[in-house]
């Protein structure tokens, strides 16, 4: 059988994978903090019909190898971790990360009891009945409790001050992630500070769904810190990070992918016609 049949199949499979990625990017064009992906290809092994030879003693020049490629395969599906634009919401518990493409909010399903943390760029947080700061799916935001807290814990906004003598009237969050409460007796207290995690290779994070990532063997160990520290981004309260999907790019890539898929199917039909001609030789 002609190798071109199988080479065309590998090309079709690769373009199908690329189309799946493009469709997912477009579907998430309005997903908060979403990071787009791209697909890269590489050629497969080549069949060597003749090896390369150097000049010989008879003064004949060298010749190159004779090789025929056997198709293509997906080399990688890369995460494009560039930050998206910040969109104003005016809501105090909407946090956008500015100037920190490697920085992530730290969240935990059980408030850190198991030590298993997840990471997100989706800064839309809420308070539950206990005052815990949570994501839209109930994961608790991690941070440092009190003014001088150093232990990572689930952040909450209690209804009373630390002494229990005054009720909380208002709170605000500055660009260092510090949550400052104002109380009925006119006093102010630092309730806590939002924690952040940096990764040496954020492209290596593993997607979990629900706008969450987990560390992987290739992302590096999370480096914990606070907003505005060296290497960490700033927090902008009242903003959320938009998806970094560029629709113009995605539609262009969709057209290119469609044409590449058509070309691969054409190579298969042409190979089939050549085989048909070969079969017809016996008539």
pLDDT digits (tens, 9 = 90+) for 54-79: 888 777 888 899 989 899 999 999 99
Same domain, 174 and 211: yes
Same domain, 13 and 91: no
- Give the residue from 250, 217, 230 showing the smallest Cα distance to 102: 230
Same domain, 191 and 258: no
Interval 218-256: pLDDT, tens: 999 999 999 999 889 999 999 999 999 999 999 999 999
Q: Is 20 helix (H, G, I), strand (E, B) or coil?
A: helix
pTM of the complete model beyond 0.85:
yes
In a domain, 56, yes or no: no
Same domain, 150 and 254: no
Same domain, 91 and 210: yes
Per DSSP (E only), the strands in 80-174 are 86-88, 95-98, 103-108, 118-120, 126-127, 133-134, 140-145, 152-154, 168-173
Q: Is 9 helix (H, G, I), strand (E, B) or coil?
A: helix
Interatomic CA distance for residues 135 and 133, integer angstroms: 7
Interatomic CA distance for residues 223 and 220, integer angstroms: 9
Q: Is 95 helix (H, G, I), strand (E, B) or coil?
A: strand
In a domain, 54, yes or no: no
Same domain, 35 and 161: no
Same domain, 122 and 225: yes
Same domain, 131 and 229: yes
In a domain, 267, yes or no: yes
Same domain, 222 and 250: no
Q: 271, 5 in Cβ contact below 8 A?
A: yes
In a domain, 58, yes or no: no
Is the confidence at residue 29, as pLDDT, over 90?
A: yes
18 burial type by CB count under 10 A (0-12 exposed, 13-18 middle, 19+ buried)? buried
Is the confidence at residue 263, as pLDDT, over 90?
A: yes
Interval 170-205: pLDDT, tens: 999 999 999 999 999 999 999 999 999 999 999 999
Interatomic CA distance for residues 114 and 142, integer angstroms: 13
In a domain, 50, yes or no: no
Same domain, 203 and 76: no
Phi, psi of 263 (to 5 degrees): -65, -40
pLDDT at 1: 60
In a domain, 90, yes or no: yes
- What's the pLDDT band for 87 if we cut at 50, 70, 90? very high
Same domain, 129 and 269: no
Mean pLDDT score of the chain: 93
Domain that holds residue 174: 86-239
Angle, alpha carbons 74-217-151 (nearest 5°): 140
C-alpha dist (Å) from residue 97 to 49, 151, 217, 229: 56, 22, 25, 13
Same domain, 95 and 234: yes
Give the chain's domain count: 2
Beta strand 168-173 with 178-183: parallel, antiparallel or unpaired? antiparallel
């Amino acid at each position: 059988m002609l190798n071109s049949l199988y080479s065309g199949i590998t090309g079709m499979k690769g373009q199908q994978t690329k189309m799946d990625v493009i469709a997912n990017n477009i579907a998430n064009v309005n997903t908060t903090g979403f990071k787009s992906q791209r697909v890269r290809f590489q050629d497969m092994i080549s069949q060597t019909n003749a090896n390369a030879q150097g000049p010989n003693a008879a003064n004949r020049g060298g010749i190159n190898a004779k090789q025929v490629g056997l198709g293509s395969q997906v080399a990688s599906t890369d995460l494009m971790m560039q930050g998206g634009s910040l969109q104003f919401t005016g809501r105090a518990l909407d946090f956008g990360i500015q100037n920190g493409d490697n920085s992530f909010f730290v969240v935990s399903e059980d408030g850190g009891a198991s030590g298993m943390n997840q990471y997100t760029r989706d800064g839309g947080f809420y308070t539950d009945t206990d005052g815990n700061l949570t994501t839209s799916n109930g994961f608790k935001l991690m941070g440092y409790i009190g003014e001088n807290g150093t232990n990572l814990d689930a952040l909450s906004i209690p209804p009373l001050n630390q002494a229990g003598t005054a009720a909380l009237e208002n709170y605000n969050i500055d660009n260092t992630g510090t949550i400052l409460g104002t109380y009925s007796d006119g006093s102010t207290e630092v309730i806590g500070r939002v924690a952040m995690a940096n990764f040496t290779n954020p492209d290596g994070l593993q997607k979990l769904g629900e706008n969450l990532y987990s560390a992987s063997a290739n992302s590096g160990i999370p480096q914990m810190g606070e907003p505005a520290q060296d290497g960490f981004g700033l927090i902008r309260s009242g903003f959320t990070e938009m998806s970094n999907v560029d629709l113009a790019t995605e539609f262009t890539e969709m057209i290119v992918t469609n044409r590449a898929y058509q070309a691969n199917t054409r190579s298969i039909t042409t190979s089939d016609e050549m085989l048909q001609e070969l079969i017809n030789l016996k008539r």
